[in-house]
Chains A and B, each alone.
Chain A
Amino acid sequence: MQLSAEELEIVLLSLKVSGVAILVALLPAFALAWVLARRRFPGRVLLDALVHLPLVLPPVVTGWLLLLAFGNNGPAGRWLMETVGLTFMFRWTGAALAAAIMALPLMVRAMRLSIEAIDRRLEGAARTLGAGPWRTFFSITLPLSMPGVLAALVLGFARSIGEFGATITFVSNIPGETRTLPLAIYSALQIPGGESNVTRLALISVLLSLAALVLSELLARRGTQGRDAHVL
């Protein structure tokens, strides 16, 4: 199958949006996962609920809330524009932000499960062997939570590449800027006689998602030397 220039642009844009989204979400998601797994504090239940909100809200509502907060007149949007010159409206950065917010709950869940599964007594053992809290984190906690991090990246990527509702509400459907694969498929469906385009784009989606899954399985297998490696 030979991709047309337009299709190639759509695929590359989708990869860019999803890639940036999960990379941006990774650190905050890990921090949230760690806090929710390890710390007991007042408001923990509320924080947990807030993190999960994008998972249960209609994506259109999430998109509208993003518009209110990160639009050119929104408080966060205005602040980011004035301090670092970052704008989201009608731009791919907005699509990446929407995808990151939608992927966040899944990423937090995956990493949290992994962190909760770590035997904390191993961290105690590291401390008695001379490792301070940070070294213990980086040499014990982080490597042992890697399966969760990997799962989070795969789930987050899958969620991002399929993201539709929040994106189209927040940053509209602009060719070359915010028209990712799902939005392109939706647009093609609106055009009479666009079925062959839809089929091609849908096939590309399937292949992309499959490739991501296979790649992550291979990575997981290498990381654990073939022992019961499953990302999901």
Chain B
Amino acid sequence: MSFDVDITLSRGEPPIHASFTVPAGITVLFGPSGIGKTSILDAVAGLLRPVCGRISVDGSVLFDSSRRIDLPPEKRACGYVFQDGRLFPHRNVRDNLLYGWRLAAPERRWMALEEAVTFLDIGSLLHRMPRTLSGGEAQRVAIGRALLSGPRFLVMDEPLSSLDVPRREEIMAVIERIRDELGLPILYVSHDRAEVGRLAGHVIAL
């Protein structure tokens, strides 16, 4: 099983409860805005501590309140693609891409900068600053940054929501290739039915 999640989060009232066990591939958390989908991703990434419960990915336990296990985010090897890209504004594209790569132990890096650049077709952007990128470009760089950090799984928070239709198509194709060619488990948040239909191996309706 790739994602095995059973957690209770107290972000506002009522508390959010999420429980699902899914095999490899893309798992889409689907539901209306404001229901706590992002909070669940934050919990899996280690940015938000659940009140109680258990999170494991590919058999390794990231969080277990009964055993007092709570890995800090930097130890979870989680590639997080945020809704808004969240690139570091004071570093150029190349340094953004290499931020996690430089921190990863060499044996954990399974992708080189050149591969990521080719995979995402961002060779012409390397020396640009994030503020000069379009939404689609920024999102591709953000995906590259996450992949280069040597993650064992990805979490993606509506990575298409800030993009226009042609750009959506482009990023969607990239995500399909990550699923098919790289075989990483992906936890994906969406509130768009078309997106869900196209990407999802499993859908968790919230």
Closest residue of chain B to A121, judged by CB? B86
The answer to whether B82 touches A127, judged by C-beta atoms less than 8 angstroms apart, is no
Which B residues are CB-close (under 8 A) to A127? 46-47, 72-74
Which A residues are CB-close (under 8 A) to B100? 129-130
CA distance A131 to B90 in the complex (A): 16
- CB of B153, distance to nearest CB on chain A (Å): 11
- CB of A55, distance to nearest CB on chain B (Å): 30
CA distance A200 to B100 in the complex (A): 57
Q: Name the one of B46, B86, B103, B104 contacting A125, with C-beta atoms under 8 angstroms.
A: B86
Q: Name the one of B47, B89, B90, B150 contacting A124, with C-beta atoms under 8 angstroms.
A: B47
The answer to whether B79 touches A126, judged by C-beta atoms less than 8 angstroms apart, is no
Q: Name the one of A121, A129, A131 contacting B145, with C-beta atoms under 8 angstroms.
A: A129
- CB of B87, distance to nearest CB on chain A (Å): 8
Number of interface residues of A (CB under 8 A): 19
The answer to whether A130 touches B47, judged by C-beta atoms less than 8 angstroms apart, is no
Closest residue of chain A to B132, judged by CB? A227
Q: Which of A104-136 contact B (CB under 8 A)?
A: 119, 121-122, 124-132, 135
A130/B80 contact (C-beta < 8 A), A140-B88, A144-B89 known: no
The answer to whether A128 touches B89, judged by C-beta atoms less than 8 angstroms apart, is no
The answer to whether B88 touches A128, judged by C-beta atoms less than 8 angstroms apart, is no
The answer to whether B76 touches A128, judged by C-beta atoms less than 8 angstroms apart, is yes
A129/B99 contact (C-beta < 8 A), A122-B88, A144-B89, A144-B90 known: yes
Tell me if B160 is interfacial: C-beta within 8 Å of chain A: no
The total of interchain contacts (Cβ-Cβ below 8 angstroms) comes to 58
- As a 0/1 sequence over residues 122 to 154 of chain B, the CB contacts with chain A under 8 angstroms (1 = contact) are 000000010100000000000001100110000
Which B residues are CB-close (under 8 A) to A125? 80, 82, 86, 88
The answer to whether B46 touches A130, judged by C-beta atoms less than 8 angstroms apart, is no
Which A residues are CB-close (under 8 A) to B29? none
- As a 0/1 sequence over residues 134 to 147 of chain A, the CB contacts with chain B under 8 angstroms (1 = contact) are 01000110011000
The answer to whether A130 touches B86, judged by C-beta atoms less than 8 angstroms apart, is no
Tell me if B5 is interfacial: C-beta within 8 Å of chain A: no
Closest residue of chain A to B131, judged by CB? A227
Which A residues are CB-close (under 8 A) to B74? 127-132
Closest residue of chain A to B80, judged by CB? A128
- CB of A141, distance to nearest CB on chain B (Å): 11
- CB of A49, distance to nearest CB on chain B (Å): 33
Tell me if B45 is interfacial: C-beta within 8 Å of chain A: yes
- CB of B42, distance to nearest CB on chain A (Å): 8
Tell me if B78 is interfacial: C-beta within 8 Å of chain A: yes
The answer to whether A124 touches B73, judged by C-beta atoms less than 8 angstroms apart, is yes
The answer to whether B82 touches A121, judged by C-beta atoms less than 8 angstroms apart, is yes
Identify the 4 closest CB pairs spanning chains A and B, nearest first: A129-B100, A130-B103, A127-B73, A128-B80
Contact surface of B with A, Cβ cutoff 8 Å: 42, 45-47, 72-74, 76-80, 82, 86, 88-90, 99-100, 103-104, 129, 131, 145-146, 149-150
What are 12 pairs between A and B in contact, CB < 8 Å? A121-B86, A122-B89, A125-B86, A127-B72, A127-B74, A128-B47, A128-B146, A129-B103, A132-B72, A132-B74, A139-B99, A225-B129
Contact surface of A with B, Cβ cutoff 8 Å: 119, 121-122, 124-132, 135, 139-140, 143-144, 225, 227
